[in-house]
Amino acid sequence: MERLKITQGDITQCQVDAIVNAANTSLLGGGGVDGAIHRAAGPELLAECRTLGGCPTGEAKATKAYRLPCRYVIHTPGPIWHGGTADENRLLASCYRNCLAQASALGCKTVAFPSISTGVYHFPVAHAARIAIDTIQAYLQTHDEITCVTMVCFDAATLAAYQQALEETEPKHA
């Protein structure tokens, strides 16, 4: 069975061990998927986030999930797209890698990601999808403890970009 899946949907409804939040460095909430996660989890999530002292771009911090149907929320501030000259690629890969490392450390087997940085932060989605898929696949190759990673795409264009990126990494059969 494939350990990396691409789906379309709402990440707040995912019944997995951990969901990832595309946060900002304050970790104090915002719009997009961050707002949706805080609304669905309830005010206790913000209260726990206030104790964390923020998080640098590319790193990750975990909290409990409160009213969400998962066990943990792993918060990661993605890079803001500045045209590709501000270390955006490395920072985005670092988000995926550090979230997966947090999941492993917490004993999680199943993890769901949103498309980090491709909303308000304007990272081009085709480019972000390639980085996400490559980084997740590299991690899975060396970490058997994670049994399934799901990329949860909110809209059809995002879904198409991640499906395309996954197809491009699969071996071609002549």
Residues serving a catalytic function are 34
Say how far apart CA 22 and CA 30 lie, in whole Å. 10
Spell out a b/e string for 51-86, using b for 16 or more CB atoms within 10 Å of the CB, else e: eeebbebbbbbbbebbebebbbbbbbbbbebeeeee
Cα dihedral 157, 161, 162, 165, rounded to 10, equals: 170
Smallest separation (angstroms) from ligand AR6 to the CB of 170? 23
Question: Among residues 156 and 174, whose Cβ is nearest to ligand AR6?
Answer: 156
Smallest separation (angstroms) from ligand AR6 to the CB of 53? 16
**Inter-axis angle of helices 43-50 and 32-41, nearest 10:** 110
Question: Among residues 116 and 146, whose Cβ is nearest to ligand AR6?
Answer: 116
Question: Among residues 101 and 120, whose Cβ is nearest to ligand AR6?
Answer: 120
Question: Among residues 68 and 108, whose Cβ is nearest to ligand AR6?
Answer: 68
The footprint of ligand AR6 (CB under 6 A) covers: 10-12, 22-24, 30-34, 36, 78, 114-121, 152, 154-155, 158
Q: Which residue has 């803001």 as its token pair? A: 80
Residue type (1 letter), 5: K
**Inter-axis angle of helices 156-169 and 125-142, nearest 10:** 50
Smallest separation (angstroms) from ligand AR6 to the CB of 76? 9
Smallest separation (angstroms) from ligand AR6 to the CB of 30? 2
